[in-house]
Structure 1
């Protein structure tokens, strides 16, 4: 099995997996850290792929609670429909009796002569020509410290104050700093970067807590960097809605993502 961004561990039950919640998969201010939502979805995706032996087609996560460092997340997988070409699956990630994330997914593949894309990658500078991002909280551990993120359009942290992107669009390059493959699980982690677009859309150091996330896989190809084209559709009533296209470095569309989130405007580094 390929190495993952997190320590997903099998049990004697092929439909149950567990994930220790360590600081390196968490975000949040000191004393209030919690597992990154993208890791929660990614671990469920990996568990379902490994349980079924099939590749992800699409998955939708609903975020229900937080998992704190030191806890253990159990991931239970159900496969109510197993067809010739695809499996419909569901997983529940929980800490003891507290449900954290529910994911519904379809997995599988079938032969087809068609392979096209009608969404094009934006024309932006390559990663080496884009400024690196230092997380606004200055954290030296956690998820953000393990990802190399470079902005091709938009800004990071407090640099966004007063510099709104009129089209609500943020474009960034991302890759893990560790030697990890770009697979469905890694794309699920990156898909949860949609909230970074809120700050650029508003011209504030803002982001948010995800309510849901949907990841749809087109075709995963070998690539060092992933180009994340984030578009915030709108903000109202304290909530935001956005989407992302995830491209390989050569412009191949690998996946799309979308989510809704609670908007958080951070005034200081201590704000969540």
Structure 2
């Protein structure tokens, strides 16, 4: 098995996997940490790709509850339909009898020489020419400490206060500090940075909790950094909706993502 950002483990049953939760795949205050939503989707993708032997086409996660360390998340893979070139699969992630997330997906590849993209990467400075972005919690623990962020456009972290981005757009270069390969699972984790765009769009110390996360893979190519073209589409009634386009450094469109989330505005230092 390829080395993964999270600790996904096999069992004697090829349709059952499990993942011990440690703080390095979680977010939140030290006394209230919980699994990062992107890790739930990423672990389900890893389990489905290994169970079916096929690459991801798309996956969507619905987040139902929180999993906290040091619990163990069990992942049950169901493959209700498997054809010549693609499979339809589902994962239920649970801690004991408590369901944490459900992921539906399609996996596979068809023989074809067609490979085109019409969406182009925006012109931005190289990662090394962009300012480092520090997460608003500014913590040296948890998942965010394992991700390196460079800001190409917009505001990330506490500098977003009072600086609303009129087009609701945030451009970030992102890579794992431990240099994990950029595969479908790693893209699922990077794509879950959509809530980071809420504060940039509103000009407030704001973010949110994901209700869902959908990832659509176009083509995965080797790249060290991923450019995240993050767009907050709108907020209303306490909820927000956003999208992301993920590019390799050479401009190749790797994937697209979208999600809805609960908008949370943090007013005090204690909220950190």
Q: State TM-score, norm by structure 1.
A: 0.98
How far apart, in 2, do the equivalents of 1:268 and 1:72 lie?
A: 33
Answering whether residue 151 of structure 2 is matched by residue 151 of structure 1, we say yes
Q: Which residue is equivalent to 1:228?
A: 228
Structure 1 contact 10–17 (Cα < 8 Å) conserved? yes
How far apart, in 2, do the equivalents of 1:8 and 1:148 lie?
A: 23
The 3-state SS of whatever aligns with 1:128 is helix
Q: CA deviation at 1:54?
A: 0.3
The 3-state SS of whatever aligns with 1:30 is coil
Residues 197-223 of structure 1 show CA distances to partners (whole Å, capped at 9, x for unaligned) of 111100011110000010000000000
The 3-state SS of whatever aligns with 1:270 is helix
Answering whether residue 145 of structure 2 is matched by residue 179 of structure 1, we say no
Q: Which residue is equivalent to 1:56?
A: 56
Q: Which residue is equivalent to 1:114?
A: 114
Task: Describe the shift of the 1:269–1:135 C-alpha distance in structure 2 as closer, same or farther (beyond 3 A).
Answer: farther
Structure 2, unaligned runs of 5 or more: none
Structure 1 contact 155–200 (Cα < 8 Å) conserved? yes
Q: Which residue is equivalent to 1:75?
A: 75
The aligned runs of 1:186-225 (5 Å cut-off) are 186-225=186-225
How far apart, in 2, do the equivalents of 1:256 and 1:111 lie?
A: 22
Q: CA deviation at 1:269?
A: 4.2
**How much is the aligned-residue C-alpha RMSD, in angstroms?**
0.8
Q: State TM-score, norm by structure 2.
A: 0.98
Structure 1, unaligned runs of 5 or more: none
- Structure 1 stretches of 4+ with a deviation exceeding 6 A read none
Residues 168-187 of structure 1 show CA distances to partners (whole Å, capped at 9, x for unaligned) of 00000000010310000000
Q: Which residue is equivalent to 2:247?
A: 247
Structure 1 contact 146–177 (Cα < 8 Å) conserved? yes
Q: CA deviation at 1:111?
A: 1.1
The 3-state SS of whatever aligns with 1:42 is helix
Residues 27-73 of structure 1 show CA distances to partners (whole Å, capped at 9, x for unaligned) of 01121110000001100000000000000000010000000011000
Q: How many residues align?
A: 272
The 3-state SS of whatever aligns with 1:141 is coil
How far apart, in 1, do the equivalents of 2:138 and 2:163 lie?
A: 21
The 3-state SS of whatever aligns with 2:2 is coil
Structure 2 contact 179–224 (Cα < 8 Å) conserved? no
Structure 2 contact 78–91 (Cα < 8 Å) conserved? yes
The 3-state SS of whatever aligns with 2:254 is strand
